[in-house]
Amino acid sequence: MTIATTALTLAALIAASPSVNERATSSTISWASCTTLDWRYAIGDPLNITCGFFEVPMDYGDASVGACNADASVGAWTVWGCRCRFVHERMWFGEEEKVRERWRRERGREKWRQEGAVQTRDRSGPKARTQALNPPTGTAKLAVARYPAQGERKGTVFVNPGGPGGSGVAFVLGYGPDLAAMVGGGYDAMDGGGYDMVSWDPRGVGHTEPGAPGCLTDEEWNELFEGTMETEGLDIRGNLSDGDQLTEFYSHVDEMEAKYRALGQKCAEADSAANLPYLGTAAAARDMAALADYLDPGAQEINYWGFSYGSMLGFVFVNMFPDRVGHVVLDGCMNPLLYANKPTTEYFPNDVVDADEAFEGFTTACALAGPGSCALAKNTTNSGKNETDSSEGIKERVQGMLDLAHTLAASGADLSDTMTSAQARTYLFEALAEPTSWASLAGYLEAYGEKLQGMAANSTSDNSTSTTNSSARSKGSSSSTPEAHASFKHRWQIPTRSLADSTPSKRQVAPSKRQVAPSKRQVAPSEPHTYEFEAIYCGDGVDADTVPDSSSPPNFDMTMRGGFEAIAYASTNVSAMFGPQWGAQGNLCFAWPARAVERYTGPWDKELKNKVLVIGTTADPVTPFENAQLMADLLGDSAVLVRQNGFGHASLAEKSSCTIGVVSRYFQDGELPTGDDTVCEIDDSVVLFPDSDVTQARVKSEILAASAV
């Protein structure tokens, strides 16, 4: 079939079929109190926030919500921007399902054919039978929350907190008024400037149906992974530059591959397996368009503010529906090329690109605050003169804690009531995303160090400590690990506590300078262990047998070995402190049993109806500023980039009246900054440690002065 013939066939199909837009918006939302619905995250005063369900097609099929753009590229399951039934044929023979699918790859990429109910090629994972389970019928029920505009209504702004797997409903319930304030004109405007603030739980998340995929109960999870890196983390001394440690690290490849394959098989056999192909970012983009058509009938333009992974959802949306772009803000940006076009194992090193800079900010601020405000800072005597700790001294003390925890664990000490070295490293990494909680972080670390010192002293005086059975340590820690590690795998989500601390409707309470070190938390073993993150991220990912592009190193195969290589690379080439972490997002995807039936893989440079606003923070430990630059560069003249000169994850981590003003003017008047290098500073009123004068500007000045020496 020629391109011309295909285009005519496509046009005929669309003309002859009822639009998915019509099918989707035939649903209505019966708005009700979120508390009445008994949704578990209905917290605090609902402030007129209402919730409800909205039905959308499980599979959008022949047509698409919104315009079908003739210039869109051919991608997985797409032809010229629309899902088209003639791309594949489905044949049903009684109970036996036969599927013949031809996948087209843009720009001459590999073509392959899947035949029968299982793959004819080894895709390095459990057979992807879920892509051929059922005809694509039925509906999904999206859980939706809305904070209504208090003044004259202009329309809707959709928001997403990230994840993937973050609850949009919980986001609106907790922070809808704060987001409305920033959209409406800054901290004095609580009416949203005429906009409803709306979000939803994406497919596979929260109260939406289909809900979170469940493969194992936590009890089964513990049995499968007890004593492995999945429960113990990457527990090392220093980093992976040591040859012996690197060899020991790689010795676990086969074990973890077998464990993940077993998990993948369980997920393929679970009741939720049939839904897996219909989750993903492209489906979420179409769902948002369907919601927009219902909430604002006749309105072509869609407004959106996405944070962290929400930036990826927004980036996919604007390229899928360039003619429907209204006011769109991409904030705390991901790398779209790594996310959608590369093996998932290649993403982890990008996560920690700016983590050391954020850590430098924390230790510098702590040293400037001194022991009166930062529990980690010490007064030391030098030549008879009292001096406050330096940033380097605090870094060395933190590294010493991690090394001591590793030494104690290696000697058999029982760390079940505190953090292992691996857990402490991950805890530190994630806490850097919230500068408003740095005082608490310092208190936790100081108490953690004191506890370790006490254990070390006891082990010296009592040999019984050093002969503690290491299996007892594993047993004591494994059952609590899923919750302890839960936030790590959802790191592409903004820390909502920072939002609460930086907005007017929430009162900031100065955290205690000394707190008990966090311990591993117990979870009920009967509860299911869910896989919202993996279902969306792995479902969006390239196929497991995709060959890495050798022209753009570093390259890592989507295999268990490739995941190990990515961690080793990040440790030795990106961040010695934060590279050695287990749980990198792409590790499991080689064994995940399904990919989404629609995956948007580009092009990423569509000409948009309106310009979008891209915001990046200069020392973001989770999504480096270079990602925001990349998104803006890919969109070219259709994007404006703002650089927030601060710490933390995404623009809401620290208050910047400059950034808030840019966002507000954009939503209210369509006004965007001019020029190629717009910089917004953090407000001088933001103090990083309580009872101190340590501001963002002072910390940056100190870091610059130290680097000049």
Of 67-81, 209-223, 224-238, 482-496, the poorest mean pLDDT is in 67-81
Say which amino acid occupies 460: T
Which is nearest to 555 in space by CA: 239, 247, 350, 342? 342
Tell me the domain boundaries of the chain. 32-55+137-210+277-345+597-684, 214-274+545-591, 352-455
Sequence-separated (6 or more) residues with CB below 8 Å from residue 74: 80, 104, 105, 106
Spatial neighbors of 419 by CB under 8 A, at least 6 apart, are 405, 427, 448, 517, 518, 519, 520
Token pair, residue 511, equals 């955290």
pLDDT at position 527 is: 52
- Give me the pLDDT at residue 89, please: 24
What is the rounded average pLDDT for all residues in the chain?
Answer: 77
**253: Cα separation from own chain's centroid:** 25
Mean pLDDT (whole number) for 50-70: 68
- Name all contacts of 547-556 with Cβ < 8 Å and 24+ positions apart: 548/342, 548/343, 548/346, 549/342, 554/346, 554/349, 555/346, 556/343, 556/345, 556/346
Residue range 495-512: mean pLDDT, rounded: 36
At residue 562 the predicted structure's pLDDT band, cuts being 50, 70 and 90, is: very high
Q: What single letter denotes the amino acid at residue 611? A: K
d(CA 139, CA 570): 42
Q: How far apart are CA 274 and CA 75, in angstroms?
A: 23
- Please state, for a pLDDT cut of 90, what percent of the chain lies above it: 58
| pLDDT, tens digit (0-9, with 9 covering 90-100), for 248-277 | 999 999 999 999 999 999 999 999 999 999
Question: Which residue type is seen at 588?
Answer: L
**Which pLDDT belongs to residue 278?**
96
* For residue 91, pLDDT beyond 70: no
> Could you give the dihedral angle defined by the CA atoms of residues 483, 488, 489 and 494, in that order, rounded to the nearest 10 degrees?
110
Mean pLDDT check: name the lowest of 10-24, 252-266, 546-560, 642-656.
10-24
Secondary structure E strands in 148-229: 155-160, 162-163, 195-201, 214-217
The pLDDT of residue 26: 60
Q: Are 318 and 542 in contact (CB under 8 A)?
A: no
Question: How confident is the model at residue 461, as a pLDDT?
Answer: 59
pLDDT of residue 583: 72
Position 528 confidence tier, pLDDT thresholds 50, 70, 90:
low
pTM of the model: 0.82
pLDDT of residue 79: 26
Percent helix, strand and coil across the chain, each rounded to 5?
Answer: 45, 15, 40
Tell me what pLDDT residue 535 has: 95
Please give the structure tokens belonging to residue 349. 């090193």
Please check the confidence at residue 2 and state whether its pLDDT lies above 50: no
Q: What are the start-end ranges of the E strands in 443-602?
A: 492-493, 528-530
Match domain 32-55+137-210+277-345+597-684 to its CATH number in 3.30.565.10, 3.40.50.2300, 3.40.50.1820, 3.40.50.300: 3.40.50.1820
Cis peptide before 548 (omega within 30 of 0): no
More confident residue, 506 or 404: 404
In the block, which residue shows the tokens 């991950």?
Answer: 426
Q: Rank 115-129, 473-487, 684-698 by mean pLDDT and report only the highest.
A: 684-698
> Which candidate, 301, 247, 581, 656, places its Cα nearest to that of 429?
581
Please state the rounded mean pLDDT for residues 194-201: 95
Mean local confidence (pLDDT), 433-458: 93
Range of weakest confidence among 23-27, 346-350, 420-424, 562-566:
23-27
Q: What is the DSSP string of 273-335?
A: GGGGGG-SHHHHHHHHHHHHHHHSTT---EEEEEETHHHHHHHHHHHH-GGGEEEEEEES---
Q: pLDDT higher for 355 or 59?
A: 355
Q: What is the pLDDT of residue 243?
A: 85
How sure is the predictor about 484, in pLDDT bands with cuts at 50, 70 and 90?
Answer: very low
What does the block give as tokens for 478? 């494994």
